[in-house]
Copies of this chain bind each other. A is one copy, B any other.
Amino acid sequence: MPTLDRDGDVFVLDIGDGENRFHPDWLAAVNGLLDEVEQAEGPKALVTTATGKFFSNGLDLDWLVANADRADWYVETVQALFARVLALPFVTVGALQGHTFAAGAMLSLAHDLRVMRADRGFWCLPEADINIPFTPGMSALIQARLAPQTAHAAMVTARRYGGLDALAAGIVDATADEAGLRTAAIELARAQAAKAGPTVGTIKERMYAPVLETLTEKGASLG
């Protein structure tokens, strides 16, 4: 399950050591830890990372199949997390140490910056292959954060990007080797910790106002 650590002004959220799919319990845990970060006073920034082979494989499809009657609640809750991270009033850095797929890749895009392991792991939106269309909110998030050519290739062809490909396509802002990844992300975040406060929140809210509106609309569905 997700855990929260602190390294000076930088909070480090580790979202798990498995596939880190978005089970309702996982969602509640992540939101609870984000509450802690939001409540902290003073300079701060956030690094989100995970342990092991996966950053996150996204939606918990097993749970979703078993709880089809709660599908709309589930999609709304996931989208609310994307919206929350996208507009957090401090700087956020994703440290993508492993496979970052589907809604896991979208969560990474909700962060301000991303650092990806250079030599292993893929960033990928496999939805076109697994027959799950992006919701309008997901589509808006991805298209707001990626260049048009990159968003199109990622969303329509389900291209898998290794670290260097992701850097070249502007999906991530830097790469690092396995040993240096978390440290690199923490140092990037630390340099931005003084920006924590309502202004940077307002800047992000205004930049992504239409995305936030679409992500928080009632009635989102994967259909």
Contact = CB atoms under 8 A, between A and B. Distances in A.
Interface of A: 91, 112-113, 127-129, 131-136, 139, 143-149, 151-153, 155-158, 170, 173, 192, 194-195, 197, 199-200, 202-204, 206-207, 209
A3 to B, nearest CB: 26
Contact of A195 (B147, B153, B158, B206): B158
B156 A91 contact: yes
**Most chain-B CB neighbours within 10 Å: which of A91, A132, A173, A207?**
A207
Nearest to A146: B148
B206 A139 contact: yes
B136 A200 contact: no
B200 A156 contact: yes
Contacts of A203: 127-128, 133-134, 139, 155-156
A200 B112 contact: no
Tell me how many chains of this kind the complex includes.
3
Nearest to A188: B157
Given A112-B157, A128-B195, A155-B207, 20 more contacts: A112-B152, A112-B156, A128-B199, A129-B194, A131-B197, A133-B199, A133-B202, A134-B203, A135-B206, A139-B206, A139-B207, A143-B207, A146-B148, A147-B149, A148-B170, A149-B170, A151-B207, A153-B173, A156-B203, A156-B204
A209 B203 CA distance: 22
Contacts of A112: 152, 156-157
A146 B207 CA distance: 12
Contacts of A146: 148-149
6 contacts: A112-B152, A128-B195, A132-B199, A139-B207, A147-B170, A153-B173
Which of A112, A149, A195 is most buried by chain B, counting CB atoms within 10 A of its CB?
A149
